[in-house]
Amino acid sequence: MRITAQLIDALGGTHLWADHFEGSLDDVFDLQDKVASSVAGVIEPALQAAETARSAGRPTADLTAYDLYLRAHAMLRSSARQIPEALRLMEQAITRDPAYGPALAWAAICCLRLLADGRSEHPEADSLKGTDFARRALEVAGDDPGILANAAQALAYFGEDISAMMALVDRALALNPNYARGWHNSGAIRLFAGQPDIAIEHLEAALRLSPRARIGTSFALIGIAHFLGLRFDEAVPKLLLAIQEDPTFSYPYRFLASCYAHMGRLEEAREIVARLRAITLDVLPRIIELRNPEHREFFLSGLRLASGEPK
């Protein structure tokens, strides 16, 4: 049996997605589950992308809180350089509607990215602001898996109890097992918690569910997980792909430099640090989200060696 599925924008006739599924009639129920899981996983990001593209062409002066949110969402998913502007738009949306859960949760993620990318001009203030946005998001989240998953990742990064945040993202995935972003967030939180192998499983699940999504952030996290698992040869290509997709994203540069240093490839490690310094002066991160002290020191020791920073 072969089943073909297509997703079409009914207004413009634009072809958004298509796939086919094959299986034996003896396994028809397994095939049915596979189709349902794949379609559910694709529809949410495809619709989000279509709505974002439609909103981006509207005049700024006429934007509603939802329009501001969609414009910000497009920015923060496209380039690390645009995170400050994305946060500004999210904050405008929140000003218009202080109980706008998705905007609150994504504003918390923007604050996380500012710190992780070394772009924050006021790290302590942005950390507090991100924590506040995430907590406010949870107050209005209800059973929205998107709000729950983003708030959980942000709070995990900013130092909240890691077990509680894993439970929170698990709740989001229980509400929608086919939520690609939720699996991505879960992978990030597992990485923070010192579970790199589980992190890889969850991040790869996110990529399977949303194959057309940008891969940079997911590949960076997968590369970091391999690095912490001492699989350097597997870490390097993933981190390089993350940098290639968004050269302004500083996060993978630090881990790649540390990885090269631990491999004894100091010349390449120092070259990566030089590229990192071209986009941020924050070579040694202000927040070390890795909760496992051995993982944290392993990362920092390599980065210090690569950057020439004192031990």
Which residues, in sequence order, are CB contacts of 112 under 8 Å at separation 6+?
Answer: 130, 153, 154, 157, 158
The CB-side HSE value for 256 (13 A sphere, CA atoms) comes to 25
CA–CA dist 122, 118 (Å, integer): 10
Range with the poorest average pLDDT among 10-24, 221-235, 266-280: 10-24
Place 275 in a pLDDT band, splitting at 50, 70 and 90: very high
pTM assigned to the model: 0.79
**pLDDT number for residue 55:** 46
Q: What is the largest CA-CA distance in the chain?
A: 65
Range with the poorest average pLDDT among 89-103, 164-178, 203-217: 203-217
**pLDDT number for residue 281:** 83
Backbone angles phi, psi at 46, to 5 degrees: -65, -45
CA distances from 283 to 80, 108, 218, 302 (A): 16, 23, 21, 12
Beta bridge mates, 2: 22
58-176 fold: 1.25.40
In which element (H, E) is residue 139 found?
Answer: helix 123-141
> Strand 15-22 vs strand 2-8: parallel, antiparallel, or unpaired?
antiparallel
Average confidence score pLDDT of the chain: 87
Beta bridge mates, 17: 7
**pLDDT number for residue 105:** 96
- Average pLDDT over every residue of 259-270: 97
- Average pLDDT over every residue of 99-119: 93
Backbone angles phi, psi at 21, to 5 degrees: -130, 135
Nearest to 259 by CA among 293, 287, 222, 286: 222
How do residues 22-54 score in pLDDT, each as one tens digit?
877 777 777 777 777 777 776 666 666 666 555
Nearest to 297 by CA among 228, 235, 219, 249: 228
Backbone angles phi, psi at 134, to 5 degrees: -65, -45
Evaluate if residue 91 carries a pLDDT over 50: yes
- Average pLDDT over every residue of 8-20: 71
**pLDDT number for residue 52:** 57
Tokens read off for 284: 């040694």
Token pair 């994203």: residue: 249
**What is the assigned CATH class of domain 210-311?**
mainly alpha
CA–CA dist 276, 119 (Å, integer): 12
Place 263 in a pLDDT band, splitting at 50, 70 and 90: very high
